[in-house]
Each structure stands twice: as structure tokens, then as C-alpha cells.
Amino acid sequence: RAPPCAAAAARCGCATLRGIVAAPRRPIVALKASRGADDAKQAPEPNFDPNLEPLADVAKAVSDAAADVSEALSETGVPASAKPKPKPKAAKKAEAAAAAEASKAEAKNAEAPKADAKKVEPPTADANKVDAAKADAKKGGGAPTPQPPQPEAPKPAAAASKAAQPPPKKEPQPARQPAFEFACPICNTTTFKMDGMPAKSGNLVCPRCSRKFAATEQYIDLTLTSGLQAKVYNQRGWAGQELFRSPLVSFAYERGWRQGFSWAGFPGADTEFRYALDFLQPAYGETLLDMSCGSGLFSRRFAKSGRFSGVIAADFSETMLQQARSYFKEDGSLGGATPITLLRADVGRLPFATGSLAAVHAGAALHCWPNPQAALAEISRVLRPGGVFVASTFLVASAPLGQLLNNDELVRPFNQLDPMGGVAQQQYKWWEEQELKDLCNSVGLDRYTRERSNRFIMLCARKPGTSPAAAA
């Protein structure tokens, strides 16, 4: 172990002093702690080289400093084993440096790498903590104090509670309700619930009436003659109704026929659709029956408007329904956001349960129905409380003058002078506005209102009571 003077010499910048300490001479003996006592013996002075005599005083001072340190440790009671010791590696470096200055011949050996040198690795986080603790202990003059392990920071209460909570359970989704509900046209009791058009042909069966009704990919047939092959009986149809069962008329309806209604003051499909939407506001979000839909001129617009949960395009004419389906496929109405289905039905015997519909629309159809009063009675039956009925039709020839004078009764005799009156009355029914009011009152429809221009009229009447949506 290197003496204290060796450590002092290593810290000293004087090369000569380092050479003295490293020279192989007798070591300087430290003075005893009780240096002032009479029996204290001093260490014999070494035989220095005469050339190094000027440095004897320096060596003496170093020896005295070492003795003072030893004396101070003895007075404090610190055992010798606890005295600060230089690290072996540092001592080796000090001796090597001193030997290099003392003997140039051994310089190469001093500069050679030491056998116990170790590869330096990047300090880890724990090593950094230990080094910091050792540095603090060195400044304070004592051994490094071991640091207790630091506890982990507590997690926030919100995060802990969130982690402790079990994953939320998925609530069962309610079963999807069918978009459409029909009824047997005979008993009006047995119901048929459907999401839309059938994927393949089949039958709707009423066990109560022992009847089957055809349901094909083209349309659902819920008329009284559906699925039957009568042997003798043949129901005689109204001329105005039978005309629109012709494939030629069905093909021409939107290719010029309907546009020809402008002669009577019909404002055009877009304006009529806007009038109808205003009247149908109480039924927004509900299923709409577009009765006597023809080729689907307004059914497509109702479906695209997004105002209704479903649209039923109904007509008595098979060829009109086929033409409507063709238009639906062209513009994407079938399979769109609003479910739509095609239904063959007789307005005088509607295949719906009582009070099951929120709204019925009939565009340019009322004048074609065989028995308008029976038809409106059926419409009133299927409407729920607060339900809406909207229809457009033709007025009599004197209507424009009556509107101008604001008195239809005054001009009523002029209806006899209508050159088309006799022929038209065989296929169609032209209306006075008061007739339409009387018709609605007779079947229990009130709150009558209308839009009228020339011989065009669109009326709106309501089922007494309040609709569930309005009540909510």
C-alpha cells in the first residue's frame, strides 16, 4: 500500500518530488501521535542523494502533513480500517506516473495497457444513481450511503378505477321491425309483415279465410281475385279504371300522357310534389301509402325525399306496377335508403288493418275510382287518429269562373254547357269542390284544406284525433 506521501506526491505537479517518493530508498517513518512527548522517537533521516538535498524540506513537510492526518483520526476514534483509502487503480496510476518521470527507461512499460483494465460500457440509469451517491459521499468525506429503492408513483384515482372496472357489456339490440304490414283483404284480420319485396315468388296465406295470395318479385297481389282462376264469374270494371290496365297507356303515362294535364291547370309534378309534402308533414317518419300510384311518378319522389320510413306504391293495374318497377330499377329507388314495395290493391277493399296507416296519397286518381265514397270510407278506416289523406283531381268546367267570382254555386248551371261533359262522365268524374267536402265529411274526415288553380285541386283532410307522434 502506498504511503500518504505517495498520494501527496501524485497530486503534486513537481516531477522531482514524485521521483523522490518513487525512488527505492528507506521510507520515511511517520511521527507518533504523541509527538510532543519526551520519549518520542523520530524516524531516521534517509540518505538522500546530494543532488536532491534542496528538496528535503519538501519531503519533510509532506511527512508532517501525513502525521497530522493520522493524529486527527486517532483523536476522533475512527479505526484504522475506516480511514479513507485511495482506490487501488488510482494508486497504480500514480505509481506508474511517478516511475515514468523517475526512469525514462521504464516509460514504455508504464504506458503499456494494464492487464486488469476493463472495457468501459455506457452507464445505465442505476449506475448513474450509484455514481451520484458516491460523489455526494466523497464531498461529505464519508462512504457512499446506499439509496433505498424508490416506490412507484401511485396511479391517478381515475385511471386506477377505470382499470379496475370490468369491460362494459354489450346491450342486446332490439329486433328490427318490419317496414310494412299488410292484412288479408277479406277479413282484414290476418296480417303479413314484410321488410320489402319478396326475394322469390311465393304465397301469403290467410288460415282464417283459407286463401292464398300471390307474392312475386314483380309485386304483391292482395286483391280479391289474387291466386284464383274463376270459371265463370268476371267482375265488371269501371271504364276509367280499366283504361289504365292497358300496356299502351301504362307505357305512355310518363311519356306525355301525364304532362297533358296542364290544360286543366295542373302545375307539374315538381310543384304538385311540393304541395303534397306540405300537407303530409304530420306523417313524416311514418309509412306512406301512395294509392293509384300509376307508374310511380310520386312514389319515387316520396322515397327519395327521406321524409318517410317506407313507401307503398299501390295500384289496381298490373301493367302500371310493372312499369313502375322498371322506373324504380332505373333510378335506384328499389334497395335505396327508404324501403319501397309494390302492391296490387283495390282502393275499395284495402289490404290493411284498421288504424294502421299514418298517411294516404292519391295523385290524379280520385276521378278514376269506380265508387269514390266507398274508397274514401276504406281510406278513413285504415287511417290512424290524426292520419292524413291527400289527393289531387279535376274540377268541373265552371270551376275557374267560380274561383274568380269566389262563388261556385252561382256558376253551377254553366256545367251543362261543357262539351266534354257527357263523354267524360262515362269514364271519369269531374268534381265541384263542395262535393269533395261533402265526401270527406261523409266518411269522418275533417280539417279540410286545399290548393286550387283553374280546374286543378289538391285537397287534404284529417282523421279525427291526434297522431302518436304529435302527442309525443
**Of 103-107, 215-219, 236-240, 379-383, highest mean pLDDT:** 379-383
The 10s digit of each residue's pLDDT in 107-137 is 444 454 444 444 444 444 455 554 555 555 4
pTM of the model: 0.63
> Is 80 exceeded by the pLDDT of residue 148?
no
Residue-level pLDDT at 50: 52
Give whichever of 35-39, 162-166, 171-175, 310-314 has the largest mean pLDDT.
310-314
pLDDT at 100: 63
Residues counted in the chain = 472
Encode pLDDT of 175-190 as tens digits. Answer: 445 679 999 999 999 9
Please tell me the predicted confidence (pLDDT) of residue 234: 78
Per the model's pLDDT, the better-predicted residue between 167 and 231 turns out to be: 231
Tens digits of per-residue pLDDT, 65-87? 666 656 665 555 545 444 444 54
Going by the DSSP 8-state scheme, the letter that residue 142 receives in this structure is S
| Cα separation, 319 vs 251, whole angstroms | 8
What domains appear along the chain, each with residue ranges and CATH number?
239-395+431-463 (3.40.50.150)
Mean pLDDT of 329-357: 91
The angle, 0 to 180 degrees and rounded to 10, between the axes of the packed helices 372-382 and 433-442 is 50
Q: How far is it, in rounded angstroms, from Cα 12 to Cα 441?
A: 125
- CA distances from residue 36 to 33, 39, 61 in whole angstroms, order as listed: 8, 9, 17
